[in-house]
Structure 1
Amino acid sequence: NQKSARDPETSYTEVEVLETLQGLKRRSFATEFFGAGSRVSKWEEAFVAVVGLSNEQAGVLAELLLRGPQTEGELRARASRMAQIPDLATLHSVLEELNTREEPLATRLSDPNRSRGVVWAHTLYPEDEAPTAEEASLSTRTTVRTASPAIEERLATLEARVKALEDQLGVGESGESEHAS
């Protein structure tokens, strides 16, 4: 799982992690405990129980918290790893439940008239960090990565070697012999 789910990549200091855990503990969203014979404390989340979420709601919210705004298709595929979300109708129901709570936990960022590629986000952002619909749309698009200079150099070298081999064999780019009648 760690090899395939590295989006987003993060790096936190021990102090940052402990401060966050203490903040969650103060709100009763996490509990600290010591296992039998353990010298190190362990932590257990309590947010789902405190807030009263179903497994499906917890899975969808976890994905939104981890990866930020996502399309419904992305959400269903990713949240289905944590809870059973067999189809988009089930996902729509879960998202509506999260959206219509007394304190909503999810919000639709896409235009209400849009039916495909609808983007959702969680509502737990600090006020100055909440994404706009336009930002969410841009962040969910596939990004084109540019090759590093080392890869481009290696590609050029390989292309030159292939060309030299083609010349030696008398074969053109189409793979056919240049000497064919």
Structure 2
Amino acid sequence: MTDAPTLLLDAAEARVLGCLVEKEATTPEQYPLTENGALQAANQKTSREPVMALETGEVARALRGLEAKGLARRVDGARALRFEHTAARTLELTRGQLVALALLMLRGPQTAAELQSRSERLHRYADADDLAHALERLAARGFAVALPRAPGQREGRWAHLLCGPADFSAMALDTGAAPARESAPRSDDALLARIEALEARLGALEARLAAGERPGD
């Protein structure tokens, strides 16, 4: 079984991997993607957060980086070299887990409700519990984390960890919380947020263990 800490991605690699998973479902006639197709998908102005402006060379390096990590492979096409993801096999993910992870890579931290509505073209979850289970399994294996609910938020958000630990201070800015530079106590808040997120992950794992589910299931 392969876990996230041994497969840290940079921002370009995470964006391109998310695009490969997305386009496999939404534009199967164009999949596997050429380097140019991956470039256009990565720089889309819609369904992307943040919007990026990657150069051709950056996407080419990202594809080869994913290939070296076992998350993508090249396929000889009739006119151009193409790439497809191999993340489901390498990371041992179900389709539901893979799609949730891809959406987090493409659109940043999101609530479960947002993930549910945005996943319809990629994968249809049986119900909210089905998605919740996928997210819990990702958290238990270190691929995703449940973020502490910020003041004014009705629902907590989830973030992927394939690029390393989540930056809770930056996410506080996204939700309209006071900027981290205001005063020293913001550092304490960030530490508390990290602890709460770890507790949420531990709680999800303990719940699965109590239900008789093995950690690797």
Same-fold call, TM > 0.5? yes
**1:69 touches 1:140 (CA, 8 Å); kept in 2?**
no
Name the SS of the counterpart of 1:120 in structure 2.
strand
- Where do residues 89-104 of structure 1 align in structure 2 (5 Å cutoff)? 89-101=129-141, 104=142
2:149 aligned with 1:108, yes or no?
no
- Count of aligned pairs between the two proteins: 131
Give CA-to-partner distance per residue, 1:92-147, whole Å, 9 cap, x none. Answer: 1111111112xx11101125xxx9411110011245xx321x64355367xxxxxx
Distance in 1 between residues matched to 2:45 and 2:56, nearest whole Å: 24
Distance in 2 between residues matched to 1:71 and 1:31, nearest whole Å: 31
Structure 1 residue ranges (4+ consecutive) displaced by more than 6 angstroms after TM superposition: 1-4
* CA root-mean-square deviation: 2.6
Name the SS of the counterpart of 1:44 in structure 2.
strand
Give CA-to-partner distance per residue, 1:59-95, whole Å, 9 cap, x none. Answer: 1000001111111111111123211124322221111
Among 63, 67, 70, the residue aligned to 1:25: 67
Q: What TM-score, normalized by structure 1, do the two folds share? A: 0.63
Aligned match of 1:46: 86
Aligned match of 2:174: 139
Aligned match of 1:5: 46
Distance in 2 between residues matched to 1:96 and 1:21, nearest whole Å: 28
Aligned match of 1:85: 125
Richer in helix (by share)? 2
**Structure 1 unmatched ranges of 5 or more:** 142-181
Q: CA deviation at 1:4?
A: 8.8
Question: Identity of counterpart residues, as a percentage?
Answer: 31
Q: CA deviation at 1:40?
A: 1.3
Highest Rg: 1 or 2?
1
My pick for the range that moved more, 74-83 or 59-68, is 74-83
**Structure 2 unmatched ranges of 5 or more:** 1-25, 27-40, 177-217
Higher relative contact order (CA 8 A, sep 6+): 2
